[in-house]
């Protein structure tokens, strides 16, 4: 079972820079640190909970589906470190409406 980390040096929700490969994120930067993606574990689309969506009729159901964010769960390691001992699992999201990448979860 994994646990979602927040605090203790982890800036979850922060904007990150991502270099995308053919299947998803290939590497990303958190500040000055570069992380290399070793494995794509999963990907999915998240939409806002119904109680946080706009007023009914303001764009229709199809607009709500498009407004989601795509999330990739990746195993990555800080550049220059051994994957065997220093890999972590990160959830990275692409929000097309804002045209930005974010680190949304870090798992231990």
DSSP code at position 50: G
Half-sphere exposure of 25 (CA within 13 A, CB side): 34
User: Each residue of 8-59: pLDDT tens digit?
Assistant: 345 568 899 999 999 999 999 988 899 999 999 999 998 877 776 665 445 5
What are the distances in angstroms from CA 10 to CA 31, 45, 51, 101, 105?
Answer: 12, 23, 28, 16, 9
pLDDT digits (tens, 9 = 90+) for 74-103: 999 998 776 666 789 999 999 888 889 999
């Amino acid at each position: 079972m994994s646990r979602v980390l927040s605090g203790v040096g982890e800036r979850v929700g922060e904007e990150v820079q991502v270099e995308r490969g053919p299947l998803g994120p290939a590497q990303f930067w958190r500040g000055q640190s570069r992380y290399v993606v070793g494995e794509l574990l999963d990907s999915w689309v998240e939409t806002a909970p119904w109680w946080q969506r706009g007023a009914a009729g303001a764009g229709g159901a199809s607009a709500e589906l498009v407004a989601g964010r795509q999330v990739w769960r990746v195993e990555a390691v800080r550049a220059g470190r051994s994957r065997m001992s220093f890999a972590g699992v990160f959830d990275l999201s692409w929000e097309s409406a804002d045209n930005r990448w974010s680190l949304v979860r870090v798992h231990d």
